[in-house]
Structure 1
Amino acid sequence: MKQNEILEKIICFSNKVSQNNKRPNNYGTEHTLYSAEIHMIEAIGNHKNANASELSTIMGITNGAINQVANKLIKKGLVEQYRMKDNKKDVFYQLTPQGEIANVEHSNYHKEQYHHMEEYIDELVPEEINIINKFLDELINSWPPN
């Protein structure tokens, strides 16, 4: 009985995340952005001088998906691509000023969204945090691959 209750809650949470990711949001620019787009902006902002292959590993998606999303963001004027002088093969990405605005607004969105959970986690004792982390690791490791 306890197992079903936990699994149902996991499915409910997964469905909420999935539904939220399907809706585009505005992050302070003229463009609405889908989850994959804003999270690529976040990854580029957090990992300076990352090439497509590195972004693929960071985000857990294929190089082809990186290129597709990057091209959309380039057309929207939020990302630029460039090459290093000593490495003409790899393509690297950086945020434009509008991309920086979207990244900051996305960070603010998460701060608001996660405020309650951060307060809850701050009240936990280390043993409870370890149990939650162990459970989440097992959930992630047992989740079916993409």
Structure 2
Amino acid sequence: MICNKILEKIICLSNKINQNNKKPNNYGTNHILYTSEIHMIEAISTHKNVNASELAAIMGITNGAINQVANKLIKKGLLEQYRTNDNKKDVYYSLTTQGQIANIAHNNYHKEQYSCMEEYINRRSLEEINTINNFLDELINSWPSN
């Protein structure tokens, strides 16, 4: 009975996350950005001088998907691509000023979104935090993959 209640809550959370990820947002650049777009911006911001195949590995998507999302972001003026003098084959990405603005706004969005959870966690004992982490690790490891 208790297990069923927990599983129902996990499914509810999963559904909320899925619904939230489907909604595009404006992150201060007058462009509506989908989750895949803003997460690519975030990944490029975090991993400087990253090429397309490295970005695909980081994000867990194909090179083709990287190219599709990158092309959309380039058209929106949020991303630039370049090649280096010593490697003319690989394509690298960097954020434009507008891409940096979107990334900052996205980071602020997450700070606001997670602030109540951070407060909750900060009130927990180390033992409680370990229990939560162990549960989440087990949940992640046992979650079915596609």
- 1:1-146 pair list within 5 angstroms: 1-146=1-146
Which stretch shifts more, 19-28 or 80-89? 80-89
* Partner Cα distance (1:65, 1:135) in 2: 32
| Equivalent residue pairs, number | 146
* Partner Cα distance (2:126, 2:62) in 1: 36
* Partner Cα distance (2:29, 2:130) in 1: 39
Letter in 2 for 1:84: T
Deviation at 1:41, TM superposition (A): 0.5
Q: TM-score, normalised by structure 2?
A: 0.95
What is the RMSD computed on CA atoms of the aligned residues? 1.1
Task: Give the fraction of aligned pairs with identical amino acids, expressed as a percent.
Answer: 75
Deviation at 1:96, TM superposition (A): 0.4
Unmatched runs of 5 consecutive residues or more in structure 2: none
Deviation at 1:62, TM superposition (A): 1.9
Deviation at 1:7, TM superposition (A): 1.0
* Partner Cα distance (2:145, 2:62) in 1: 13
Q: TM-score, normalised by structure 1?
A: 0.95
Letter in 1 for 2:116: H
